[in-house]
């Protein structure tokens, strides 16, 4: 599968590495707003720097991986669909529902394999948790508790352009919740505060938040977010059901334990998503290649992006209005 | 300190044992609605069975421990206050705010040492967590996550008389939240479902619930409840702050680990509150004796019961109305 | 059961507390080389200070608990046996085999309930491990690994009178090994060094040691000792068999976990035997009372003291001679 | 670095993968006793199948990785040294000391970069433990406890050709002990039994063993081996010192935890060395490439093989003779 990479920034580099390591994928071309970045990465992986136009026009290229800046995602996605190329698009497709829906319509008109970069579904531990749920290990799922904290807050200027905490950060947790709850989410309640960086508050956003989701059958889900966990990336999920509980725990570089003056000490969790989800990024490419080869749906698709965005929209409204928001009212 | 026990049921027996084991307390008398129960327990501990009237009239008795049925708490508490006896009253004082306020007024008019049976404040692990918060171990507290699940649901008939999940079960978590958050809680959001026993739903209650509390400074607290955790009593608290995280974990009988076919297996959590909080009940008596001797306030007092009940009331309203409830409106 | 305590020092005080807390035992009298110590303890527990002679002569006293200095154990034990009193004797009976054998002969001539203070057999976690072995949880036991480290080395002068590391400290591990291996130990190999305190080496002893025991059927047991574990009392046992492994782990005051700059930190192990084996001392009294009432053998008896001492003797010889020592040669 | 692989069996395939994944190494050629195996592997990795002669004669090949059957190691190693090629040789060089010394003499006469396949030194967790020792995290190292158990015993016929447990399996532990103890080992004591498969006993070997090593300064090291741990590959190291303890723990596929009827269950350890040391094999190639480029010694070299073999020889003698063996007598 010949994949062209759109965007040679930090996350683009992660994908370049994953593509290069996959036995059945190759990095056919790279483009970036900064041509020099594309060239540098192309040199590193023995690929070529091309313009986006040239990529879409090149019939030997099977797929594009869209890892450019968020505002460009939807346009590239539509161009790629029209060019008949398989797509792996970093989330989000867009920060608003209308633009996202438009892109989905183009995809409907030009059906191609289209995967969305909800990388956490590919994490081995979360995947094992999902598998255990499917196998009925805990009977009927009743509640889900998702803790998701970043190690450091982004600069306030980033926050302004990010669409806010729910669209930028919680969006991953909304997707995990949807994937694991496995039935329609009907209501959203949210609370949030600015406790870490006043500049985030001035930008109109929160840096600490809690959300409750309710599903059609009454399952409940808690999401707890913080923009700053001084000890690293805190990524845990607890699924509770009629026959037991499953807990995905934080991971650290090694399991070495020291016992001494301060107590019994194990390593801190891995620092951030590049470390924690390194394996997930690799598996994400694997799923994309397989889905394209087998003409099956990838593990996360474009409509998952839309649905997660609806939840973010509902959470934002709940935070503002102090009410439980029904998903029926989010279009 | 000569303590008379009112109520010789299950929890009364726990207290009898704790009193008998305390070097500076003695079990002066026992009364119960069922005289035979009082007599049996009196025999076991070398005490005497008396009527409640006789207890209140006996000047050699310093204190009463009220462990009778919930509807009798407030009356006994008022009688004890009027009789000038120190009081350790099982929670709740009453299931409604008005009756609770009346009792507090009587206490105000007849000031005696009055402790309320929020036993969890006396748990060594939770107490260590509180102490670490006070010492600033995690910097500024930002969020609290309380998981509190019972091993088995009560019979539906109990549920009807209990005041509902928030007043009966979450009340303990509300108290822990108040104690640990250490500032006024301003808003409550709640969600709930009946997923375990339809009879509970028919009785108008939920058996699975999630609550979000917000404090004056914006701290957030999640409480997750279930009436049935098949693996035992699930009692965990996670405090998250600017400099780290504290986690109180479940306890088991021993730390013996088996590794074999099923994996690496440690014991289940202790089954229920009698096992999990055995040490807490003992320390509760200790605190009561000390508070009385030193004429200081006990760790949990009558007003803590009122405040926890206000939170329960707010949660119930939020669940029904689908809104965030301000505590300003709960009188 | 009316028990007289011989010896009011540190360990005597632990036993006094355990006796006083037992519902069917009472502290009938206390004696000590220092009469004032006996009196102080008697006052604390509402008992009486008597001479040893008076105790042995008092027909209302059922039992003696010998917790005096080591050199006096055997004499007191013989006097008690001749007086027909049940005996709970702190280990060791004596530091040499001959004196121990003599005491056993007196016991054989005057059969009374006689328990030896191998307190660890009463530890709930080790008892659970033993129970799991008996139930076949790990199939056939093949190896045992015992880690046993004290928090701080004793003063060198103590070492001189203690009989050396193997007789003083490893003796507990030899007993655990015998109890858990559950078949005759046939050979002993030992190694040792003085790494912690040169004064211990000058006194002719080691402070760091490793021992291998081999049983009749070929089971192997490792014992690893140190006189100084800076993080507290390190008491772990690992039993390995054909169907799995059991691990008794260190215990700490609470399971509170802190995650922050240094990593994920749990509390240090409990500091020393008084903390770690508090529950074991209590259960030891319980077993003693029960054994006497039921006229059954206590969990650890006088012959267990002899056998553990033979292993210590063999280890000492192995260390000196650099050879594997057969127990056949230790009389 | 152009590397030719000698041996296309199971471990050869692991190395082929590691070489192919290394950015600065390439798999130049493959040879095997079974030509078809070499061809199949060459096809898989886009390499070529050559004879060993052709490999040694090819000046464009920089290095050979010897992963053929044990009896051929020494010959290939000598040929490679004479051909001036860098060498990464699977352990052991040979099963006897004389043949090993001969090979070392050839290496001395033809100095090339020569790494020995003690893969465990490259394990991230053990490497972190070593690093912590070097940094003085536990002060002075006093004792080492190595638990090393295979999941299943080899067929008895393999045992016969393997040189016995100490040369075949414990050899890795001897190397770890040497690396971590970081000073000369002076004495060896060993015990062993046949508890798992009587056929192993008939072949003259043991399947369960314990060893004590003593170093020049008196540090002690325990090695505990079993040929069968039903729960998987048990690979743990505990280093104990004056300022604390370091414990390298078993690793599992994920950290997912299930709590339910059987208790709190985490996954079994990884099954065997291919899973547990996958990362170590990859790092081993990295170290080899770096050592060759920088003309520095690799992390484990040929003399480490000789020294570990001397310890195996001493352990075997100790087991047979029932004596502590001085390394001075092992030539």
Residue in chain C nearest D214 by alpha carbon: C191
Beta strand spans in D168-313 (E): 185-193, 208-215, 220-226, 234-241, 244-248, 257-260, 263-266
For D48-103, give the secondary structure using H, E and C: CECCHHHHHHCCCCCEEEECCCHHHHHHHHHHHHHCCCEEEECCCCCCCHHHHHHH
Q: Is the pLDDT of residue B11 over 90?
A: yes
For residue A94, what are the domain limits? 2-112
**For residue B286, is it within any domain?**
no
Judgement on whether residues D211 and D309 belong to the same structural domain of the protein: yes
Query: What pairing do the DSSP bridges indicate for beta strands A185-193 and A141-149?
Result: unpaired
Query: Which residues, numbered 6 to 35 in chain B, qualify as contacts with chain C under a Cβ-Cβ cut-off of 8 Å?
Result: 21
Close Cβ partners of A17 (under 8 Å, ≥ 6 residues apart): none
Judgement on whether residues C151 and C234 belong to the same structural domain of the protein: yes
Q: Is the pLDDT of residue D67 over 90?
A: yes
Judgement on whether residues A79 and A142 belong to the same structural domain of the protein: no
**For residue D293, is it within any domain?**
no
**For residue B294, is it within any domain?**
no
Mean pLDDT along residues B95-112: 97
Q: Which of A252, A262, A269 sits opposite C262 (nearest CB)?
A: A262
**Gap from B125 CA to chain C (nearest CA, Å):** 5
Q: Does B46 touch chain D (CB under 8 A)?
A: no
Residue contacts between A and C (CB atoms, under 8 Å): 44
Please name the helix (run of DSSP H) or strand (run of DSSP E) that holds residue C86, with its range, or none.
strand C86-89
Mean pLDDT along residues C82-95: 96
C-alpha torsion A7→A10→A12→A18, nearest 10? 170
Provide ipTM, 2 decimals. 0.96
Token output for C101: 């054998």
pLDDT at A135: 98
pLDDT at D264: 98
**Gap from C152 CA to chain A (nearest CA, Å):** 14
Judgement on whether residues C135 and C242 belong to the same structural domain of the protein: yes
pLDDT at A157: 84
CB B141 within 8 A of CB B219: yes
Q: Does C196 touch chain D (CB under 8 A)?
A: yes
Judgement on whether residues D40 and D128 belong to the same structural domain of the protein: no
Close Cβ partners of B52 (under 8 Å, ≥ 6 residues apart): B6, B31, B76, B79
Q: How confident is the model at residue A159 (pLDDT cuts 50, 70, 90)?
A: confident
Residue in chain C nearest A234 by alpha carbon: C259
Q: Which of D260, D264, D267 sits opposite B266 (nearest CB)?
A: D264
Q: How confident is the model at residue A304 (pLDDT cuts 50, 70, 90)?
A: very high
Q: Tokens 């990785």, residue?
A: D65
% residues pLDDT > 90 (chain D): 97
Given CA atoms D293, D294, D300, D303 in this order, what sign does their dihedral have? positive
A298 — phi, psi (to 5°)? -70, 170
B37-61 pLDDT, tens digit each:
999 999 999 999 999 999 999 999 9
Residues of C in contact with A260 (CB under 8 A): 230-231
Residue of B128, B138, B142 to mutate when probing chain A, most A C-beta within 10 A: B142
**For residue A170, is it within any domain?**
yes
Judgement on whether residues D194 and D139 belong to the same structural domain of the protein: yes
% residues pLDDT > 70 (chain C): 100
Residue A21 or D5, more confident: D5
Q: Is the pLDDT of residue B322 over 90?
A: yes
Report the helix count and the strand count for chain D, using DSSP H and E: 13, 14
Q: Is B286 helix (H, G, I), strand (E, B) or coil?
A: helix
Is C259's CB within 8 Å of B245's CB? yes
Judgement on whether residues C108 and C238 belong to the same structural domain of the protein: no
Long-range contacts of B197-204 (CB under 8 A, 24+ apart): B197/B153, B197/B156, B197/B227, B199/B156, B199/B159, B200/B153, B200/B156, B200/B159, B200/B227, B202/B156, B203/B156, B203/B159, B203/B160, B204/B160, B204/B164
Residue B162 or C89, more confident: C89
Alpha carbon distances (Å) from A155 to A159, A161, D237: 7, 11, 43
CATH number at residue B208: 3.30.360.10
Region of D252 please: left (phi>0), alpha (psi -120 to 50) or beta: beta
Query: What pairing do the DSSP bridges indicate for beta strands B220-226 and B263-266?
Result: unpaired
Select from D82, D112, D142 the last residue of a domain: D112
**For residue A283, is it within any domain?**
no
B88 — phi, psi (to 5°)? -120, 110
D64 — phi, psi (to 5°)? -125, 145
Mean pLDDT along residues A152-169: 91
Q: Which of B252, B265, B269 sits opposite D262 (nearest CB)?
A: B265
C-alpha torsion B12→B15→B19→B21, nearest 10? 120
Q: Which of B124, B247, B254 sits opposite C125 (nearest CB)?
A: B254
D265 — phi, psi (to 5°)? -115, 125
pLDDT at A331: 86
Select from A66, A94, A112 the last residue of a domain: A112
pLDDT at D57: 97
**Gap from A54 CA to chain B (nearest CA, Å):** 49
Q: Does D230 touch chain B (CB under 8 A)?
A: yes
Separation of alpha carbons C99 and C96, rounded Å: 6
**For residue A284, is it within any domain?**
no
Select from B56, B80, B112 the last residue of a domain: B112
D45-66 pLDDT, tens digit each:
999 999 999 999 999 999 999 9
pLDDT at A177: 98
pLDDT at C160: 81
User: What domain count does chain B have?
Assistant: 2
Question: What is the CA B150 to chain-centroid distance, rounded?
Answer: 13
Q: Which of A147, A222, A323 sits opposite B210 (nearest CB)?
A: A222
Alpha carbon distances (Å) from A130 to A172, A179, B264, D141, D269: 15, 8, 20, 44, 21
Strand partners, B193: B208
Separation of alpha carbons D38 and D54, rounded Å: 14
C-alpha neighbours within 13 Å on the C-beta side of residue D191: 28
Q: Is the pLDDT of residue B157 over 90?
A: no
Q: Which of C209, C220, C230 sits opposite D242 (nearest CB)?
A: C230
Q: Which of A230, A259, A268 sits opposite C264 (nearest CB)?
A: A268
pLDDT at D161: 85
Q: Is the pLDDT of residue D160 over 90?
A: no
Is A266's CB within 8 Å of C267's CB? no
% residues pLDDT > 70 (chain B): 100
Residues of B in contact with A192 (CB under 8 A): 220
CB C190 within 8 A of CB D324: no
Is D266's CB within 8 Å of B261's CB? no
Token output for C246: 């059991």
Is A264's CB within 8 Å of C268's CB? yes
Q: Is C29 helix (H, G, I), strand (E, B) or coil?
A: strand
Q: Does B244 touch chain A (CB under 8 A)?
A: yes
**For residue D103, is it within any domain?**
yes
Judgement on whether residues D44 and D189 belong to the same structural domain of the protein: no
Q: Is the pLDDT of residue C161 over 90?
A: no
Q: Does A152 touch chain B (CB under 8 A)?
A: no
Q: What is the DSSP letter of A141?
A: E
Judgement on whether residues D63 and D201 belong to the same structural domain of the protein: no
Q: Is B328 helix (H, G, I), strand (E, B) or coil?
A: helix
Strand partners, C215: C185
Q: Which of B222, B229, B240 sits opposite A222 (nearest CB)?
A: B222
pLDDT at D133: 98
pLDDT at C85: 98
pLDDT at A161: 85
Q: Is the pLDDT of residue A269 over 90?
A: yes
pLDDT at B328: 96
CB atoms within 10 A of CB B296: 11
Is C193's CB within 8 Å of D230's CB? no
Mean pLDDT along residues B247-263: 97
Residues of D in contact with C245 (CB under 8 A): 229, 231, 234
Close Cβ partners of D102 (under 8 Å, ≥ 6 residues apart): D74, D78
Q: Does D244 touch chain C (CB under 8 A)?
A: yes
pLDDT at C290: 98
**Gap from D36 CA to chain A (nearest CA, Å):** 23
**For residue A282, is it within any domain?**
no
Q: Does C84 touch chain B (CB under 8 A)?
A: no
Close Cβ partners of C159 (under 8 Å, ≥ 6 residues apart): C165, C168, C199, C200, C203, C205
Residue of C260, C263, C271 to mutate when probing chain A, most A C-beta within 10 A: C263
CB C237 within 8 A of CB C145: yes
Residue in chain B nearest C243 by alpha carbon: B260
CB atoms within 10 A of CB B60: 8
Judgement on whether residues D51 and D163 belong to the same structural domain of the protein: no
Mean pLDDT along residues B62-68: 98
Judgement on whether residues D71 and D219 belong to the same structural domain of the protein: no
Q: How confident is the model at residue B276 (pLDDT cuts 50, 70, 90)?
A: very high
% residues pLDDT > 90 (chain C): 97
Q: How confident is the model at residue D331 (pLDDT cuts 50, 70, 90)?
A: confident
CATH number at residue B83: 3.40.50.720
Give the angle C226-D209-C206 at the CA atoms, nearest 5°: 20
Residues of D in contact with C212 (CB under 8 A): 189, 191, 210, 212
Q: Is B26 helix (H, G, I), strand (E, B) or coil?
A: strand
pLDDT at B23: 86
C-alpha torsion D269→D274→D276→D281, nearest 10? 180
C203-226 pLDDT, tens digit each:
999 999 999 999 999 999 999 999
pLDDT at D119: 97
Q: How confident is the model at residue B29 (pLDDT cuts 50, 70, 90)?
A: very high
Q: How confident is the model at residue C156 (pLDDT cuts 50, 70, 90)?
A: confident
Q: Is the pLDDT of residue D103 over 90?
A: yes
Judgement on whether residues C42 and C128 belong to the same structural domain of the protein: no
Q: Is C226 helix (H, G, I), strand (E, B) or coil?
A: strand
């Amino acid at each position: 599968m010949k994949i062209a990479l759109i965007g040679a920034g930090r996350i683009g580099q992660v994908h370049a590495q994953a593509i290069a390591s996959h036995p059945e994928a190759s990095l056919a071309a790279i483009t970036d707003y900064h041509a020099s970045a594309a060239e540098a990465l192309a040199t590193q992986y023995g690929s070529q720097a091309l313009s986006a136009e040239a990529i879409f026009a090149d019939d030997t290229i099977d797929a594009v991986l869209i890892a450019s800046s968020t505002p460009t995602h939807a346009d590239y996605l539509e161009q790629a669909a029209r060019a008949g190329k398989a797509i792996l698009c970093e989330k989000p497709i867009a920060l608003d529902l209308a633009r996202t829906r438009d892109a989905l319509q183009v995809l409907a008109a030009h059906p191609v394999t289209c995967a969305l970069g909800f990388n956490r579904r590919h994490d081995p531990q979360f995947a094992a948790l999902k598998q255990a749920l499917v196998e009925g290990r805990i009977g009927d799922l009743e509640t889900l508790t998702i803790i998701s904290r970043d190690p450091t807050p982004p600069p306030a200027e980033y926050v302004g352009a990010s669409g806010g905490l729910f669209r930028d950060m919680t969006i991953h947790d909304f997707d995990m919740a949807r994937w694991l709850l496995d039935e329609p989410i009907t209501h959203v309640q949210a609370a949030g505060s600015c406790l870490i960086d006043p500049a985030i508050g001035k930008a109109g956003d929160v840096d600490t938040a809690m959300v409750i989701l309710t599903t059609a059958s009454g399952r409940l889900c808690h999401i707890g977010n913080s923009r700053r966990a001084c000890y690293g990336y805190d990524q845990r999920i607890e699924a509770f059901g009629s026959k037991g509980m499953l807990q995905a725990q934080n991971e650290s570089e090694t399991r070495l334990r020291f016992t001494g003056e301060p107590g019994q000490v194990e390593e801190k969790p891995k620092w951030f998503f590049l470390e924690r989800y390194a394996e997930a990024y690799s598996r994400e490419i694997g799923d994309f290649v397989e889905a394209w080869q087998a003409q099956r749906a990838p593990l996360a698709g474009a409509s998952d992006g839309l649905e997660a965005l609806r939840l973010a929209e509902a959470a934002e409204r709940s935070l503002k209005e102090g009410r439980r928001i029904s998903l029926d009212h989010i279009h």
